[in-house]
Homo-oligomer: A and B are copies of this chain.
Amino acid sequence: MIRLGFDLGGSHVAAGLIELPDQVRAVRSVKLPGQITFTELVARMGRMGRELLGERGCSSENPVEIGVAAPGEMDRATGVIRHAYNLDFHNVPLSRALEAEIPRATVFLINDADAAALAEWKAGVLKNYQTAWLLTLGTGVGGGFIEKGRLFFGGRGFGVEPGHMILDRQGPLCTCGNRGCIETLCSGTWLTQAAETAAIRYPHSRLAAEQKAGRPAGGKQVMECYEAGDAAAATIFERYTEQLGDALVSLIALTDPEAIALGGGISQAGDFLYEALNGYVQKYAFFETAPPILRSRFGNSGGILGAAWATLEEEAEK
C-alpha cells in the first residue's frame, strides 16, 4: 500500500511518502500565506500529493492511503475539521475534498499531537511502553496519550489537551481564556518572551548579543546560550525546567505513565535538558520512582509519520 502523510500546521503544510514502520521517503514543506481559503489549501495539498506520487513513479492506478495530521477539533469518522482556530477553518470536509484531488485516495484525519504520539509509540522511543505520553512543546503545548496499548481519544472523543491543564491558577492569561495553563509556562512562546525580556534586563549577556545580531529570540537560542555558559540564559533555563517539571509531575500523578516523551522544537535540545527534567521529576513526582522523560525520535517528522500510521489504525477500527 502506498501511504502519504500530511502535517498541517498554522504556517506550513508538510507532506511525505511513508514506508512503515519508520521511513520517510520524500518530504516537501510549503509555507502557507497568512490567510488561505479552504479551497486554496486543498488544491495546494492535492498538488503536493500528486507530485510526491509522480516523483516516486506511483501510477494513478494504485490506491493510496493518506493520513492528515491537523490541529484543533475534528470528527475522524466523517473526516471533517470542526475547528482549526489558527487557520480559521470551521466545519470543513477535508477528507472528502482531498480525496477529490488525488486519484484513488482514501483520507484519514488525526490530531497532530496524537499523530506524533502514535509515531513514537509505533516506531520511536515509546515503542516498548503500553501507557505513555508524548508532549509537543512548540508555539503551544499539545499531547497524545497511549493508554494500555491504544491511542486514547478522550472519553467523549474531544481528545486530550495537556496544554490546558492549569498549573498556576494565578499565572499568565492563556489564549483559551483561563490563567496559568501549562501552555502559558512550557511553550516556546514562553521561552521567546523570557529571552526578549532577559536581553533588555541583561544587555551584556550573550542572549542580548545574539538578539542584537538579528537572531530571533526563542527556545533554541536560550538552550544554546545556556550551554555556552551565559548566566541570563541559565536563569531562564532553570525557571523553564521547573515549570515544565511541574507539568510532568502533574501528568505523572494523574496517569502514572511508564514514560513521557517530548516532541516539538524545544525537545531537540541537548542531554542537559533531559538530565535536568529527569532529576526534577525524580525529586518531586508523587510516586516512589518517576518514569523516564525521553527525547522523541522523530522530532518534526513525527506528524507526517504518525498520520501515515493513522491510516492503518483507522483501517483496523473499521
Taking beta carbons and an 8 Å cutoff, which residues of A are in contact with B? 73, 129-132, 147-148, 152, 154-171, 176-178, 180, 243, 246, 249-251, 253-258, 284, 286-288, 291
Q: Is the CB of A249 within 8 A of B156?
A: no
Instruction: Output the residue of A166, A249, A257, A286 with the most chain B CB within 10 A.
Output: A166
Chain B, residue nearest A179 (CB)? B246
Chain B, residue nearest A161 (CB)? B253
Which residues on the B side are within 8 Å of A177 (C-beta)?
284
Q: Is the CB of B284 within 8 A of A159?
A: no
Give how many copies assemble into the complex: 2
Nearest Cβ distance between residue A129 and chain B, in whole angstroms? 8
Nearest Cβ distance between residue A64 and chain B, in whole angstroms? 32
Which residues on the B side are within 8 Å of A163 (C-beta)?
253
Bound: A171/B178 CA distance, A: 17
Task: Pick the contact of A253: B147, B164, B258 (CB < 8 A).
Answer: B164
Nearest Cβ distance between residue A194 and chain B, in whole angstroms? 16
Q: Is the CB of A167 within 8 A of B166?
A: yes
Indicate whether A256 sits within 8 Å of B158 (C-beta atoms), given known contacts A177-B284, A284-B178.
yes
Which residues on the B side are within 8 Å of A169 (C-beta)?
167-168, 171, 180, 243, 246
Which residues on the B side are within 8 Å of A164 (C-beta)?
249, 253, 286
Bound: A199/B145 CA distance, A: 46
Bound: A246/B171 CA distance, A: 13
Nearest Cβ distance between residue A278 and chain B, in whole angstroms? 16
Q: Is the CB of B165 within 8 A of A168?
A: no
Bound: A171/B168 CA distance, A: 8
